[in-house]
Amino acid sequence: MPLLVMKFGGTSVADLARIRNAAQKVKSEVERGYDVIVIVSAMSGKTNELVGWVNETSPMYDAREYDAVVSSGENVTAGLMALTLQEMDVPARSWQGWQVPIQTTSQHGAARFQDIPRANLDAKFAEGFRVAVIAGFQGVSAEGRITTLGRGGSDTTAVAFAAAFDAERCDIYTDVDGIYTTDPRITSKARKLDKISFEEMLELASLGAKVLQTRSVELAMRYKVRLRVLSSFDDTDELSGTLVCDEDEIMESKVVSGVAYSREEAKLTLVTVEDRPGIAAAIFGPLSEAGVNVDMIVQNISEQNYKGREKPVTDMTFSCPVEQVARARKALETARDAGTISYDALEIDEDAAKVSVVGIGMRSHAGVAARMFRALADEGVNIKVIATSEIKISVLIDRKYMELAVQALHDAFELDKAG
């Protein structure tokens, strides 16, 4: 029988009425002829309550005990979902991670999948069970301890099951009805996309469109799992939402698919750094160790004998989230004090935001960058830093222009128009 994976997030199973609503959607798919693997999150708020207790008990907690405690929220939802389906005459049972067993590494709190053996679930499907309800976000280590995948891990659980069981599709039910060309709160012209490629979704996910966890998209791309993002509060029973799929499935893609943004960015510039092999490693190694997520990096053209110096020097600019600026400053000053790097000054601009245009069509279309810069210039928006990848162009600008820039780019690339 064809198989579907359906994942319901915390708001979609927040109480018994919502669990029933979700179960109804599962039943519809069973009636269409699918066997279904359902992945559930904890009822919304439950995981936060458990995490709160752990943190209050033990600020430097043993991650193995953390996992044992916080994984219990998903176990409750899984059992309740199985019971709800049984009430609807759908043969179902729940599975906790260790029962499948979902084998993971022993990195507690951030475990990674190693194997999802099919035997146990396949045997139940063969017996006539139509639905396996799986507690998301968890697994079991080789040592027999409960592991968790980190927050948002239920998306990843869903994709991993879809890959392991050759699912026709993996439906991610959430509280938004799909992926938009940009944030509808910034422009009412934002339009829901019917389809988007894995690559584009990855860029959008990591850029702040918080609908899907980045890791789950990576995994879906690797195993070519077709992902559908849709709302659990939309009661039309037709296919809706946005399909995240291989670009081969997208016939006519636009040059740009979406405009993403990240509001709280900072720009840091190390002035007059010695320009020698290994200097980048000497700067960014300590930042990484300090937990600073460096994003864009620009190294100015180095000028031999700059200001009469004997050694070549350069300026090094990078961006990171504003909240990490203090940590970044400390890491750099420590490195300077230790003599591993030298610089004349550290300039910090905490009033930046990042705006990006994303689209696989860029690969075959020239002139996207020029069109982007023109649109920003027409609105009088100054660009501080530019960074590009194969399918993305990002700029750092003054934060106060962020909404304006998003709107201008959405118009310039005609994202309000389909096709």
The rounded distance, in Å, linking the Cα atoms of 378 and 410 is 14
SS3 assignment, position 116: coil
Cα–chain center distance at 359: 17
Q: Give the other-Cβ count within 10 Å of 329's Cβ.
A: 15
Is there binding between residue 65 and a second copy (CB under 8 A)?
Answer: yes
Q: Closer CB to a second copy, residue 97 or residue 286?
A: 97
Q: Which of 1, 2, 16, 249 binds a second copy (CB under 8 A)?
A: 16
Is residue 21 at the binding interface for a second copy, with CB under 8 A as the rule? no
List 12, 41, 94, 214, residue binding a second copy (CB under 8 A): 94
**Binding of residue 336 to a second copy (CB under 8 A):** no
Toward a second copy, which CB reaches closer, 98 or 318? 98
How many binding residues for a second copy (CB under 8 A)?
A: 35
Q: Does 99 bind a second copy (CB under 8 A)?
A: yes
Quick check: 56 binds a second copy (CB under 8 A)?
Answer: yes
109 binds a second copy (CB under 8 A): no
Cβ nearer to a second copy, comparing 56 with 252: 56
Q: Does the protein bind a second copy through residue 54 (CB under 8 A)?
A: yes
Ranges within 22-51 binding a second copy (CB under 8 A): 50
* DSSP letter (8 states) at residue 365: -
CB of 128 to a second copy, least distance (A): 15
Distance CA 107, CA 272 (A): 41
Contacts of 87 by beta carbon, 8 Å cutoff, 6+ apart: none
Span 253-282, contacts to a second copy by CB under 8 A: none
Query: Does position 93 bind a second copy by CB under 8 A?
Result: yes
Instruction: Give Cα separations from 164 to 4, 41, 344 (angstroms).
Output: 12, 19, 54
| Residue 131 sits in the site that holds a second copy (CB under 8 A) | no
Tell me: does residue 125 bind a second copy (CB under 8 A): no
* Integer CA distances (angstroms), 337 to 284, 333, 340, in order: 16, 6, 8
Provide the minimum distance between the beta carbon of 56 and a second copy in the complex, in angstroms, as a whole number: 6
Distance CA 132, CA 18 (A): 19
Give min distance, CB of 175 to a second copy, in A. 22
Pairing of strands 169-174, 297-299: unpaired
- Shortest reach from residue 101's CB to a second copy, in Å: 9
Q: How far is the CB of 51 from a second copy (least distance, A)?
A: 12
Q: Scan for tokens 């934002």, then name that residue.
A: 190
Give the separation between CA 179 and CA 42, rounded to whole angstroms: 23
Are 258 and 359 in contact by the 8 Å Cβ rule? The answer is: yes
Applying CB under 8 A, which of residues 11, 44, 48, 79 lies at the interface with a second copy? Answer: 79
- Other C-beta atoms lying within 10 Å of the C-beta of residue 28: 12
Identify residues 169-198 at the interface with a second copy (CB under 8 A): none
Secondary-structure breakdown of the chain: helix, strand, coil percentages, each rounded to the nearest 5: 40, 25, 35
User: Which structure tokens are listed for 247?
Assistant: 């670009």
Q: Nearest-CA neighbor of 286 among 296, 294, 275? A: 294
For residue 355, what are the β-bridge partners? 261, 395
Residue (139 or 286) nearer to a second copy, CB: 139
Q: How far is the CB of 145 from a second copy (least distance, A)?
A: 8
Task: Provide, rounded to whole angstroms, the least separation between the CB of residue 121 and a second copy.
Answer: 13
Compare residues 62 and 289 and give the one whose CB is closer to a second copy: 62
Report the residue number, 64 or 263, with the smaller CB distance to a second copy.
64
User: Rule CB under 8 A: is residue 123 a binding residue for a second copy?
Assistant: no
The answer to whether 66 contacts a second copy (rule: CB under 8 A) is: yes
The yes or no reply on residue 53 touching a second copy (CB under 8 A) is yes
Contacts of 33 (CB under 8 A, 6+ apart): 1, 2
Report in angstroms how near the CB of residue 137 gets to a second copy at its nearest: 14
Question: Least distance from C-beta 65 to a second copy, angstroms?
Answer: 5
d(CA 284, CA 293): 10
Name the E strands within 166-235: 169-174, 195-197, 227-231
**Cβ 87 to a second copy shortest distance, Å:** 5
Residue 39 CA to its chain's centroid (Å):
18
Residue 141 near a second copy by CB under 8 A: no
> What's the rounded Cα separation, in Å, for the pair 225 and 246?
9
The footprint of a second copy (CB under 8 A) covers 16, 19, 50, 53-54, 56-58, 61-62, 64-66, 68-69, 72-73, 75-76, 78-80, 82-84, 86-87, 93-94, 96, 98-99, 144-146
